[in-house]
Every structure is written in C-alpha cells, then in structure tokens.
Amino acid sequence: MGEALKAGSEYEDEHEKHRDVHLNWKKIALIGTIPILLIFLGFFIVVKAIGGENYSLAIDWFNENFGLTGIFLYVYVVDTLILPLSPDFVFPIVASMSPWVVIPVIGTASALGGITSYAIGLLLHKIPIIKRYTEKAEKKWGAYIKKYGTLFVIIAGIFPLPFSTICVLAGALKMSAKKVLPATCIRYIRAAIYFALFRAGLLII
C-alpha cells in the first residue's frame, strides 16, 4: 500500500513538474513541412532536368544494383543510428514502384529502426558515449516525453522530428515497451503518406 502511494505521489510530482510544457503545433507543422517540400522540390527539378526517360533508366540501374534490400538497409540504419541523413531520401527513388511492396518495406525498416533505437536506450544507456547522448537529448526532448509519453513517440514517427533520438531517449527513460513498440508502427502510415505524395508528383511531372 505504501509503495503504491509513493508511486502515485511520484507520478503526480512528475506530472506537475511538466504541466507547463506544451507542444508548439505550428512549429511542429513547420518542421514537418519544410524538409519534405525541399526534397520534393529537388525531386521535381532533377526529373525535369534529366527527363522522365533518364529518370526511369536511373531507377532501373538502382534496382539492378541495390533493389529493395538497399532501400530497407538504408532506412533501417538511418532510423536506428544518429546520422545527418533522412529516410525520406528514398521516396524519389521508389515513387515509380509498386506501393504494395514499397510501403511495407519502408514501414518495416523504419519501425524496426525505432525499436532498435529504443533497445539501445533501454539496455545500453549506461555506456558513457550513449549516456552523454541521452543526457543531451533529455535536455531538449525529455520534458515532452515525460508529459506526453507514447503520444510524443507517435508525433516523432509522423513528422520529421529526430525519430531515432526520441526512441533512444524513450528507452533510456524506461518507457513501457508495450506502449513504445506499437507506437513505432506509425511509420507505416508515414511511409504511405510520403509515397503517395511523391507518386502524385511523378504523375504531375
């Protein structure tokens, strides 16, 4: 009984501490819109410059040399490790491919990347190099995770927030795996939305 009261008290204290923390939805929308627009604009300019036929030849070359395995590995690594890269760079490459194949591949790779990041934070957070990183990440994102919990992981999964960073931090803060792991599946929806955007752009071009 005493432990339950103590846990409840700690929860209330934590909730009170972060009561004034609020998500800036306008800023999140801006962060989410600008990167994908830049990638889309670059995609439009390149295809226009080289022509549709040369674009198709480039995609054929990519498929012959890397294929869906290359796409999967790239997305998985980017969404697992802290790299100055975006998984969204693959959408100009896959825009002409079948959505029934591409979306499951990208969604699975991205979700597994998030799960691996969570496991790194959960199991390896005491390793000095990871501890330094999670402490830095906590200063920036910790208050949001502590207040919004899984919802913030879902938000990071939809918008171009640092998904792998937030998953690592969720693990380091020992968020429930039963909540975090299903939340990473939001990456399937994100993959479908972004694929549809680039497929529509390819049709327009």
The tens digit of pLDDT for each residue in 76-119 reads: 999 998 777 788 889 988 988 899 999 999 999 999 999 999 99
Rounded CA gap, 194 and 89, in Å? 11
Q: Which of 63, 89, 62 is nearest to 78 (CA)?
A: 89
Greater confidence, 88 or 16? 88
Q: What is the pLDDT of residue 27?
A: 72
Rounded CA gap, 87 and 76, in Å? 8
Q: What is the pLDDT of residue 3?
A: 45
**Cβ(172)–Cβ(138) below 8 Å:** yes
Q: Which of 182, 194, 188 is nearest to 104 (CA)?
A: 188
Report pTM. Answer: 0.81
Task: Count the domains in the chain.
Answer: 1
The range of the structural domain enclosing residue 174 comes to 2-204
Q: What is the pLDDT of residue 152?
A: 92
